[in-house]
Amino acid sequence: MSQAEGINGKTVRRVVIAGGGTAGWMAAAALSRMLGKVLDITLVESEEIGTVGVGEATIPTLVTFHRLLEINEQEFMAATQGTIKLGISFEGWREVGHRYIHSFGVTGRDHWMANFHHFWMRAHALGLAGSYDDYCIELKAALEDRFAHLPRYQMNYAYHLDASLYARFLRRFSEGYGVRRVEGKIADVQIDGASGCIDALRLENGDVIEGDLFVDCTGFRALLIGKALNVGFTDWSHWLLNDSALATQTTAVRDAVPYTRAIAGRAGWQWRIPLQHRVGNGIVYSSRFISDEEAREEFLSSLEGEIIKQPWPVRFRPGQRHKCWSRNCVALGLAGSFIEPLESTTIHLIQRGILRLLHAFPHVITQEAIDDYNARLDAELQHVRDFVVLHYHATRRRDTPYWRTVGTMELPPSLQRRIDLFRETGNVYHVPTELFAENSWIQVMTGQGIVPKRHHPLADVMGEAELARFMREIREGVNATVRQLPAHMDYLRGYCPGERPQALPA
């Protein structure tokens, strides 16, 4: 295999990952598993520097990522105290007291001309169909707290996991494929005066870690891409108002449900992520509309179980780097972008950056390749941004200044077009590279109260008897499948009981 030639004239043999945590060790795992035989990979991190540590809910793309790396699912779930996630329960978002679930998978059966919901809309208006929820296996299983692996991957799922344990698991995996971990704090990033590329990292103890390609996983600090290379940041806080969070862990008081809870509050929302051994909790809020003290009080008063770890604060600015790949530096995770964790996309975006980097590796690293990487990632980030903003704007709540502001704010034109199209025609569209498919947009838009004015005329082609039979067969098929599933935690106790964490060398 030929080596990739760097834009600074060097052959890329030495990859240096700055920072550990989920982003750093995911990058190390993928690079070492796929290219470890031809690359020298070093990861620099310090035990003294904490990580944000709240990215504990994932989406189904992580299942695919693990399959690509041939990670054993039972070992991974046992090591991370993992549970299954079939979707997200949105509570109080459309209006106080209302709940809907954005689930994985598909609903009903689509026709190539029209999505299933067009047929459901007509059937429901005629009294021939029940709730839209009745036609999705994952959603019904979530409501009934059931799960099992089905043949031919018939059920789409993701994981809840302990982020710290996940990093430890990936570290063991990566070191097994030759990754070298260096303990230390970065004191300086050395830049080549001629090319403007990064030459090395100098640590506080004086050690110098040279490399040809650098991966910035230093979180919000963005020591390489931001401070050293001066790549700017596009702020999205005019669309995503939240800028603060508190996170903590509590003991479990009941069996874990197979979904994440997103509970709307006065000026933001709270998450509940159930693991085998505990629950991850957090509140995300806008400091413009609620003080830190008020948010803390609202948060603590709502918790169940005993607090394991005192709440720790997180300050953030939503947005993205102008470039996530600049010269010989690629930013992953919080160093490159941040979209709040409402739809659990943080780990997915790390993964997408890694996979795109892997695709670029066998070739000469040219400016054209860098530009293509940035353009593709930019499109993905804006798609995810629009989907998250949708939850805030499409609301009937006007009970607090926060909800009045988000409910009436001007939207990104790309999102406004999607909403207008759905409201007027009931149609949605999906670009192949986009994360969220049609069913996700349909579930969230209808869940948030956007009702299409009309359905596709194809739904009128069916006679009422045929339409009723069509809907009944799908609903009965879903119910029959869900009835066969065991209780979620009963299944996991046999499949992947959580293990006690093992100590790692310094």
pLDDT band at 1 (very low <50, low <70, confident <90, very high): very low
Enter the pTM of the model: 0.93
**Cα angle, residue 191 at apex, residues 379 and 179 outer, rounded to 5°:** 70
Average pLDDT over residues 265-273: 97
**Cα angle, residue 174 at apex, residues 171 and 177 outer, rounded to 5°:** 150
Lowest mean pLDDT among 91-105, 288-302, 429-443, 477-491: 429-443
Distance CA 161, CA 164 (A): 9
The domain 4-83+160-235+318-383 having CATH identifier 3.40.50.1000: the answer here is no
Positive or negative, the CA dihedral 120, 469, 456, 126 is negative
Q: Decide if pLDDT at 265 tops 60.
A: yes
Catalytically annotated residues: 85
pLDDT, residue 54, reads 58
Cα–Cα separations (whole angstroms), residue 242 to 163, 236, 341, 452, 471 = 22, 10, 11, 29, 41
pLDDT digits over 306-343, tens only?
999 889 999 999 999 999 999 999 999 999 999 999 99
Helical H runs in 319-366?
A: 346-360
pLDDT, residue 154, reads 84
Q: Assess contact for 203 and 186: CB atoms under 8 A.
A: yes
Distance CA 211, CA 15 (A): 6
Q: How many helices (H) and strands (E) does the chain have?
A: 14, 23
Domain boundaries, the chain: 4-83+160-235+318-383, 104-156+387-488
Distance CA 37, CA 34 (A): 8
pLDDT digits over 25-80, tens only?
999 999 999 999 999 999 999 987 666 555 599 999 999 999 999 999 999 999 99
pLDDT digits over 476-489, tens only?
999 999 999 999 99
Q: Decide if pLDDT at 6 tops 70.
A: no
Average pLDDT over residues 113-126: 95
Q: Please, what is the average pLDDT of the chain?
A: 93
Q: Assess contact for 332 and 347: CB atoms under 8 A.
A: no
pLDDT band at 279 (very low <50, low <70, confident <90, very high): very high
Query: What 3 state SS string does 278-312 have?
Result: CEEEEEEECCCCCCHHHHHHHHHHHCCCCEEEEEE
Residue with tokens 């992520």: 273
Q: List all residues 6 or more positions away from 183 whose beta carbon is below 8 Å from its beta carbon.
A: 45, 46, 47, 506
pLDDT, residue 270, reads 97
Buried (b) or exposed (e) across 117-147, using 16+ Cβ within 10 A?
bbbbbbbbeeebbeebbbbbbbbbbbbbbbb
pLDDT band at 2 (very low <50, low <70, confident <90, very high): very low
Q: Assess contact for 393 and 407: CB atoms under 8 A.
A: yes
